[in-house]
A and B are shown apart, each in its own frame.
Chain A
Amino acid sequence: MNKVENGNHLTVDEIEIKLLLDAIFLKYGYDFRNYSRASIKRRITQHKTIAGYQKLSDLQHQILVEEPAFRKLLHDLSVNVTEMFRDPLFYKKFRTDIVPILQTYPFVRLWVAGCSTGEEVYSLAIILYEEGLRERCQIYATDLNESVLKRAKTGIFPISKIKEYTTNYIQAGGSEQFSDYYTARYDSAIMKKFLKDKIVFSSHNLAIDGVFNEMQVVTCRNVMIYFNRKLQNRVVTLFRDSLCTGGFLCLGKKETMKFLSCEKDFIEIADQERIYRKHKS
């Protein structure tokens, strides 16, 4: 047998990470192989330490034979840090530049891809309500992580965050009483039912799943920063194919269509807020 020279010079750690990601894909179908390595490695290493594994190979064996161990790892692999009206100026722009165009449609479908615990979904629902679009819109909120979706569905957030969210809401151009949108119970703020009614929460994995409806708006903010170029290209192609002509794609503050395969299919309409519009193909 010939020995193949390995030009990559992978360290033992890197090889074990690669094997672990392969194991996850082969056993459970979740594909983290095209995530940015530095970040995924950090999260795996943290999980290893907190969950008390000596070696990555121990972790690999355990998640292969025990699904609950895998679910715990899965929870730690995705970044679930979010807030309501995060980057308020984006939401302000959404209200001034996107909403008037949405108002010309008889029915509006919006997809929040990678919605995590739902804070940004409820933020959008509030704006749509205030702008009179509630009765003719449907928000699809998806994530690959079932446990955060469950939390998103409850619409319960820590009351300690409400002060910050209220400030964000006002900076985002909100002019109503923010307290009208939730009920305070002990240390929780529970979002009102009329906001939840317009949201469908569902599992969807951007790395492997496909188009499920035609959308007027897709928001996917601070999700693609965790993907490598190959996966980013897959995901923006999926968004392009999901959007109607003239539909809007909203990315995170530090995300861009530059250098991505579908760049030519979109026009940038707000460079600071990273809002793009699909033009006629």
Chain B
Amino acid sequence: MNRQPKAIVLGVSTGGWQALNRTIPELPEHFPVPLITVQHMASSSDNILVKTLDQASHLTVKEADEKETLNKGTVYIAPANYHLMVEKNMTLSLSTGQPVNFSRPSIDVLFETAADAFGASLIGVLLTGASKDGSLGMLRIKNRGGLTIVQDPKTAAAPLMPQSAIDLIEADYVTGLDELANLLVELTC
């Protein structure tokens, strides 16, 4: 990627909060892009997890609001029970449409809309999960010229999700969680 990406999208499922808690707090205060996240979660979960992650991080971590404008150095987490989508004008949209891959929010929905909105100026990150959600989204990101990073399934709490993506696309980076924050900094700062 030869120019600054407009955003990073990140999808994670089983083992997700541990993975996010190991990665997000490592990102520096002046992280120059927004990071938009889908974490599959139980429908009734409150945002205590979001608040905990926010307190542990240099960046602002918040639940995504509809029509919210994306800001650099902010981490947006999809609310339970809504799909999260990215618009070309750098805002977020929500939807209560049917679950995709049995999930709402779905990683594919976020990734595909972000790929359409940002094309080559996008980084997609797919981490641990016991689901195939996210693979088609990574394919779309790749086809639109974006950069793809997949967690090394050997290091994942649940390997199915990263493995499904690796089976479908040739990822630009396959990495362990320990190196992820550094890699994101290198690619963006």
Q: Measuring CB to CB, which residues of chain A are less than 8 angstroms from any residue of chain B?
A: 13-14, 36-39, 41-43, 79, 81-82, 222, 225-226, 229, 232, 252-256, 259
Q: Give chain A residues whose Cβ lies under 8 Å from the Cβ of B93.
A: 36, 38-39, 225-226
Within 8 A of A (CB), among B48-107: 65-67, 79, 82, 85-88, 93-98
B128 to chain A, nearest CB (A): 26
How many A-B Cβ pairs are below 8 Å? 55
Q: Measuring CB to CB, which residues of chain B are less than 8 angstroms from any residue of chain A?
A: 65-67, 79, 82, 85-88, 93-98, 109, 112-113, 116-117
Q: CA–CA, A79 to B99, complex, Å? A: 12
Q: Ordered nearest first, which 10 A-B pairs have the shortest CB separation?
A: A38-B85, A38-B113, A36-B93, A79-B97, A225-B94, A225-B66, A222-B96, A39-B95, A38-B87, A38-B93
Q: Could you give 19 example pairs across A and B, Cβ below 8 Å?
A: A36-B93, A37-B88, A38-B88, A38-B93, A39-B85, A39-B93, A39-B95, A42-B85, A42-B112, A79-B97, A222-B96, A225-B66, A225-B94, A225-B95, A226-B95, A253-B79, A254-B66, A254-B82, A254-B94
Q: CA–CA, A96 to B113, complex, Å? A: 40
A113 to chain B, nearest CB (A): 15
Q: Of all chain B residues, which has the CB nearest A223?
A: B96
Q: Give chain A residues whose Cβ lies under 8 Å from the Cβ of B95.
A: 39, 79, 225-226
Q: Give chain B residues whose Cβ lies under 8 Å from the Cβ of A37.
A: 87-88
Query: Contact between B112 and A254 (Cβ–Cβ < 8 Å)?
Result: no
Q: Give chain A residues whose Cβ lies under 8 Å from the Cβ of B112.
A: 42
